[in-house]
Amino acid sequence: MSLTITPLALAAAVGTGDDLVAHLLDALEVARLSLAPGDLVVVTSKVVAKSEGRVVAFSGLEADKVRLIESESRRVLRRRGTLRITETHHGFVNANAGVDLSNADEGTAVLLPLDPDRSARRLRGEIGRRVGVEVGVVITDTFGRAWRQGVCDVAIGSAGVRALLDLRGTPDANGRVLEATEVAIADEIAAAANLVMGKAAATPFALLRGLDASFFGEGSGGDLVRRPHDDLFR
Amino acid sequence: MSLTITPLALAAAVGTGDDLVAHLLDALEVARLSLAPGDLVVVTSKVVAKSEGRVVAFSGLEADKVRLIESESRRVLRRRGTLRITETHHGFVNANAGVDLSNADEGTAVLLPLDPDRSARRLRGEIGRRVGVEVGVVITDTFGRAWRQGVCDVAIGSAGVRALLDLRGTPDANGRVLEATEVAIADEIAAAANLVMGKAAATPFALLRGLDASFFGEGSGGDLVRRPHDDLFR
């Protein structure tokens, strides 16, 4: 079966305190789509953060930028110029603690949602109440990688989807049992959605249809955070 | 426009010296699909390596496994038990130099292709000659990540697709110029394809249809390898 990924553009900009599910339902209506069982909705952290009021005043000064980044961090792993590789209060290792100056209104910066898994559960619950369909939800942000050029979207929060799919013990095509393999499917979902969402366009939602039924179930974006004691590189 | 990702299952197992494009065309025929302009084909490194004869005898002994991994490495970055975090001769940083004991015949191990970008160009050229359509090609392998749990597929070779899409200087939705952002779209394509390919199934190909036209052009998997002097963590 094919997997289909459809971008859903905003009908209006998302502001502080907005009802994000209303924006999603408007975007679905514009695209003449309705949610069905087995669907998964991807939402960028940017609009989640804006709707939750995670927007702060920002002077534009480099020194203030660094102060803001460090206040959003539990730990700074590396410094280069004004770039910080940070461990956020959530435990994510990313650049500049996810503090985002693009697609923010002049004089403001957008922070990461305080608890993206809780945001995902809330969106899933609210969608279920209004539409009567239980969908998977993945909240994405854009991260760099230690050893690879370029950024990729990853899952910082999720609900109703197994963030890690455990294939250990599954026989391979030759009947031999696979070695330790847990696939970070929520991150793969985030990356896949970014292929249709663009960076600059006002397209903070994507609809995935056709995911394997085994992908749905208990799980959270927090499952994807490597525990510091398992980490060989921190 | 929606992006559609379709898994293409093998009609027969891939062996050393096999014509991989013939396998792909068989798989397309079984799926009743034919290639069209704007299509991109994802191929796992496993079948590329097998068709290119990158298969070696392997005793099954742990000590031989470590010797094999180290011979495929330029440098070993970390050791834990028999796990090695390696920098391969290509420059990839991955686990165990990509030496793969799953989905290999008993008594053998599959290595990474010697030059995955050359393999991708060859596949693209051969598909063009036989079908008369210029498609993008991405060759994937499964990598771990420094700070995140679980593995994701990434692009180790590509042809006809911009591995890195440079969005620097693009205005964002508010007309403000975006900060440095190069999106690793070939890695996002690899991750997306893995959502339909499964780990154990004999599905080494996927067809992506509906990618933005701006994604096609010059580029290679090598573009995604961070130069050691840009690296903050090696």
CA distance linking residue A230 with residue B6, whole number of Å: 35
CA distance linking residue B19 with residue A216, whole number of Å: 37
Tokens for A22? 């209303």
Tell me how long chain B is: 234
Between chains, do B191 and A188 touch, taking CB under 8 Å as contact?
yes
C-beta of residue B97 within 8 angstroms of C-beta of residue B88: yes
C-beta of residue A72 within 8 angstroms of C-beta of residue A86: yes
C-beta of residue A208 within 8 angstroms of C-beta of residue A170: no
CA distance linking residue B4 with residue B38, whole number of Å: 12
Between chains, do A173 and B101 touch, taking CB under 8 Å as contact?
no
C-beta of residue B142 within 8 angstroms of C-beta of residue B158: no
Q: Does 3.40.50.740 match the CATH number of domain A4-54+114-225?
A: no
Tokens for A29? 């209506």
Mutation for testing the B interface, residue in A153, A161, A195, A226 having most B CBs under 10 Å: A195
**DSSP states of B115-168:** -HHHHHHHHHHHHHHHHS---EEEEEEEE--SSBSSBEEEEEEEESB-SSEE-T
Q: Which residues contact A175 (CB under 8 A, 6 or more apart)?
A: none
| Closest approach of A45 to chain B, Cα-based (Å) | 15
Q: Which residues of B touch A2 (CB under 8 A)?
A: 4-7, 196
Nearest CB neighbour to A170, from listed B1, B149, B200: B200
User: What's residue A216's pLDDT?
Assistant: 97
CA distance linking residue A21 with residue A46, whole number of Å: 14
Mutation for testing the A interface, residue in B90, B100, B149 having most A CBs under 10 Å: B149
Residue type, B75: R
Distances (CA, A) of B212 to A107, A226, B180: 33, 33, 21
pLDDT tens, N- to C-terminus, chain A (234 residues): 899 999 999 989 999 999 999 999 999 999 999 999 999 999 999 999 999 999 999 998 989 999 999 999 999 999 988 889 999 999 999 999 999 887 677 899 999 999 999 999 999 999 999 999 999 999 999 999 999 999 999 999 999 999 999 876 566 555 555 555 799 999 999 999 999 997 555 899 999 999 999 999 999 999 999 988 888 887
Domain ranges of chain A: 4-54+114-225, 55-112
Q: Which residues of B touch A232 (CB under 8 A)?
A: 77-78, 80, 85, 146
Distances (CA, A) of B82 to A28, B19, B41, B70, B96: 50, 35, 34, 11, 9
pLDDT tens, N- to C-terminus, chain B (234 residues): 899 999 999 989 999 999 999 999 999 999 999 999 999 999 999 999 999 999 999 998 989 999 999 999 999 999 988 889 999 999 999 999 999 887 677 899 999 999 999 999 999 999 999 999 999 999 999 999 999 999 999 999 999 999 999 876 666 555 555 555 799 999 999 999 999 997 555 899 999 999 999 999 999 999 999 988 888 887
User: What's residue A25's pLDDT?
Assistant: 98
Query: How distant is the alpha carbon of residue B123 from its chain centre?
Result: 13
User: What's residue A82's pLDDT?
Assistant: 84
- The DSSP bridge partners found for residue B6 are B207
CA distance linking residue B220 with residue B185, whole number of Å: 11
Q: Does 3.40.50.1970 match the CATH number of domain B4-50+113-226?
A: no
CA distance linking residue B22 with residue B141, whole number of Å: 21
C-beta of residue A31 within 8 angstroms of C-beta of residue A209: no
Tokens for B55? 């298969």
Between chains, do B192 and A187 touch, taking CB under 8 Å as contact?
no
Q: A7: buried, middle or exposed (CB in 10 Å: 19+, 13-18, 0-12)?
A: buried
Nearest CB neighbour to A187, from listed B148, B183, B233: B148
Between chains, do A4 and B2 touch, taking CB under 8 Å as contact?
yes
CA distance linking residue A164 with residue A187, whole number of Å: 9
The CATH class that applies to domain B55-112 reads: alpha beta
- What's the complex ipTM? 0.95
Between chains, do B78 and A226 touch, taking CB under 8 Å as contact?
no
Element (H, E) at A230: none
